[in-house]
A and B are shown apart, each in its own frame.
Chain A
Amino acid sequence: MSILEALLVGLDEARRHLGQTLLSLLGLVLGTGSIVTVLALFGGQTKQTEAFIIEQGGFGAIIVYDREESLQPTPMELASRRLTYRDAAYLKDHATMLKGVAPGYFDRHGYRVGDMDFEGDVIGTTSDYAMINAIFPMAGRYISDLDVRRQARVMVLGWAYADSLFKGRPELALDKIVNLGGKNYTVVGVMEREEFYWAPWSGNALAHRNRRAYIPITTAFSQYTGENDRLDFLTLKAITPTGGPAAEAQVHQMMLSMHGVEDFDIQPLGQRNADDAQFFLMFNIIFLIVGLISLFAGGVVIANILLASVAERVREFGTRMALGASGFQVFAQVIAQVSVISIFGGLLGLGLGAALTGAVAHFMSQPAAVTGSMAAVALGTSLAVGAVAGFYPAFRAARLSPVEALRYG
């Protein structure tokens, strides 16, 4: 018997035992459907995490921090000047794997315009910061190299600060004076509003980027730190989006030779902020477990039904053997029957999964789609469950002694 013929026989068997077939199908359909849904949601989540990373400067953006001091620092650690502006300057001149270097000062100061005042974040940095973090001014310009060289008293406002300081008219901030920590600055730019939502009900994951102002890092040092050039962070960008790891390795090696001790941590920028995705991952894992349990239950049901069906049909198998069926052909007959059920179960499950995915994507506004590889995984799983469940009953049928089988019942 060819495979096609075996499947046709299997289809016939499945049709003739419709009740058994439907019961077996149910388990497979639920299991496969659930797995397809999880894979699709998971795929959607991965895409969204990617989108989030790109929104924040894309792949290849790197951030360097001071590592926390040891409880009992070694002399080398104590001697190190930690992360400084000089590190940034050195990397800018010598690191061949980087296309951007932006040293960072971070602190909180009082903001004041007229009768409006509050305390908020300030970032002191250089022109590369905008490129590295993929942020753009909606009016005016960002910090320039000239601002940095001249220690200019200029400021670029984040959208939310411009909005609150200038009463809902952020575009009016340009060329106005803002008092920051007791010093006056001229506003030369207002940044675009940045937003990213993991789901409609979750808040803006990038809101913090709108609540800050940028000033030249040299100005920050001269106005607030008393010429101390210690950095709070250092952001970098690799020359290509995929060049992150290579750039990290080069930076690591150069920093180590400058500091003489590993008192810094290097991380991809996107990864640091993608933790929100973990929450969704947990949901997906729960779904996946439910799917696997359904499939397992489906498999047990199939095995059980097939065993009963084999026991019921012992005489039939004996007759078939008397007519010339080999043990293998009897085995193939049972396996063909379960294969047909598995294929149908897989396909129906795929349909259910696609429908569920569509519903979830629609009602929870989650990006999710069933791809070819997911379909292949789902069908493969269904077939595998069927094969495992069908193997023992098929083996039992094939091992029957024709004489005893004919006497049976």
Chain B
Amino acid sequence: MALLEARDITKIYRLGRVDVPALRGVDLDVQQGEYVAILGPSGSGKSTLMHILGCLDSATDGSYRLGGTDVGTLRGRALARVRNRKVGFVFQTFNLMPRLTVEENVALPLQYRGGYTRRERRGRAGVVLERLGMSHRVGHRPEELSGGERQRVAIARALVGEPAILLVDDPTGNLDSKAGAEVLETFREVHAAGNTIVLVTHDPNVADEADRIVHMIDGRVAA
């Protein structure tokens, strides 16, 4: 059984009186340990798909199972729980909390999970930062870091809760080519360590990093 199973996912946005379909029946399976890139131009529905796969949004129709759980029917608090335990997000714009230190940023998902003391949270954040070669930056604030360093902090934050899947949204979009290459190298290492990654991008060169590329166009998976 696949780690991630999406069947006939449809998403329709209602803008005033007009229905705008963003996804028109998407099927997608991702296996445990796989590195998949979803490639498509803007407006192809790849971001909408990522939001649904990441349990930030729910599909208008279709079924979605993540790690054997039918998450398509979940709402609100239950969905927040799934996001917290099973999904790790990496955003194009990093989305770090500017007033928190690197360590505090990385520990944030554990704070929402509960059950960890402050000390335990810091300990686990430290371990992940060490793994990503960022342990010399624990006490800094995001504004004191380079773009590539910020993105690696964001990756550490996504990994700290040991999620089932890493959802990555155009991770090099805000980086110069050197920093971008370093970040992609980090993803290769993370993948090599056994993590499952779904990466969304419009850049074929970035998509080439993955084991498998899923092309999207007009809200459908291209054949």
Q: A residues within 8 Å of B by Cβ?
A: 1, 5, 16, 315-316, 318-329, 401-403, 406
Query: Known: A319-B91, A402-B56. Contact between A324 and B80, CB under 8 A?
Result: yes
How distant is the Cα of A328 from the Cα of B77 in the complex, in angstroms? 8
Closest 6 CB pairs of A and B: A324-B84, A326-B80, A319-B95, A324-B112, A402-B56, A326-B77
Contact: A325 with B112, CB < 8 Å?
Answer: yes
Most A CB within 10 A of own CB, among B80, B81, B83, B112: B80
Closest to A323 in B: B109
Give the contacting residue for B114; candidates A1, A16, A315; CB below 8 A. Answer: A1
Chain B CB count within 10 A is highest, among A315, A318, A402, for A402
In the complex, the chain A residue whose C-beta lies closest to that of B96 is A319
One digit per residue, 1 when the CB lies within 8 angstroms of any chain A CB and 0 when it does not, for chain B 98-138 equals 01000000001101111000000000000000000000000
A-B contact pairs, 5 of them (CB 8 A): A315-B95, A319-B91, A321-B83, A324-B84, A326-B76
Interface string of B52-64 (1 = CB under 8 A from A): 0010110000000
Interface of A is mostly: helix
Question: Is the CB–CB distance between B99 and A16 below 8 Å?
Answer: yes
Total contacts A-B at CB 8 Å: 61
Q: A329 contacts B56, CB within 8 Å?
A: no
The answer, yes or no, to whether B89 is at the interface (CB within 8 Å) is yes
Question: From B89, which residue of chain A is reached at the shortest CB distance?
Answer: A322
Query: In the complex, what residues of A have CB within 8 A of residue B113's CB?
Result: 324
B152: interface (CB < 8 Å):
no
Smallest Cβ distance from A327 to chain B, in angstroms?
Answer: 6
- 17 other A-B residue contacts (CB within 8 Å) besides A324-B80, A326-B76, A326-B80: A5-B111, A319-B97, A321-B83, A322-B83, A322-B95, A323-B112, A324-B113, A326-B77, A327-B76, A327-B77, A327-B80, A328-B77, A329-B80, A403-B51, A403-B56, A406-B91, A406-B95
B77 touches A323 (CB 8 A): no
Interface residues on B, range: 20 to 34
Chain B residues with Cβ below 8 Å from A322 are 54, 56, 83, 89, 91, 95
Assess the B56–A321 pair: CB atoms within 8 A: yes
> Does B157 lie at the interface of the complex (its beta carbon under 8 Å from any beta carbon of A)?
yes
Choose from A315, A319, A326, A403 the contact partner of B57 (Cβ within 8 Å). Answer: A403
Q: Which of B51, B57, B84 contacts A323 (CB 8 A)?
A: B84
Q: Is B215 an interface residue (CB 8 A)?
A: no
B65 proximal to A (CB < 8 A) = no
Instruction: Write out the residue numbers on chain A whose beta carbons fall within 8 Å of the beta carbon of B24.
Output: none
Q: Is the interface of B mostly helix, strand, loop or mixed?
A: helix
In the bound complex, residues from chain A placing their C-beta under 8 Å from that of B89 are: 322-323
* B188 at interface by CB-CB < 8 Å: no
User: Residues of A contacting B161 with CB < 8 Å?
Assistant: 324
Structural contact, A329 and B57, CB atoms closer than 8 A: no
Residues on B with beta carbons closer than 8 Å to the beta carbon of A328: 77
Q: Determine whether B85 belongs to the interface, using a CB cutoff of 8 Å to chain A.
A: yes
Chain B residues in 8 Å Cβ range of A406: 56, 91, 95
Residue among B57, B77, B84 with most chain A CB within 10 A: B84
Nearest residue (CB) in B for A8 is B118
> CB-CB < 8 A to B54: which residues of A?
322
Inter-chain contacts of B108 with A (CB < 8 A): 320, 323
Which of chain A's residues has its CB closest to B167's CB? A322
Tell me whether B80 and A321 are in contact (CB under 8 A): yes
Contact between A320 and B77 (Cβ–Cβ < 8 Å)? no
Q: What's the Cα separation between A321 and B114 when bound, in Å?
A: 15
Residues of B close to A403: CB separation below 8 A? 51, 56-57
Nearest Cβ in chain B — how far from A2, in angstroms? 9
A64 CA to B190 CA, complexed, in Å: 96
- Measured between C-beta atoms, what is the minimum distance from A159 to chain B in Å? 74
Residues of A close to B99: CB separation below 8 A: 16
Residues of chain A within 8 A (CB-CB) of B84 are 323-325
In the complex, the answer to whether B56 meets A324 with C-beta atoms within 8 Å is no
Nearest CB of A to B1, in Å = 25
Cα-based distance from A215 to B57 in the complex (angstroms):
96
Write the chain A residue with the least CB distance to B78: A326
For residue B129, give the distance in angstroms from its CB to the closest CB of chain A.
16
In contact, B83 and A323 (Cβ under 8 angstroms) = yes
CB distance from A404 to the nearest CB of B (A): 9
- Which B36-87 residues have C-beta < 8 A from chain A? 51, 54, 56-57, 76-77, 80-81, 83-85
Q: How far is the CA of A281 from the CA of B97 in the complex (A)?
A: 53
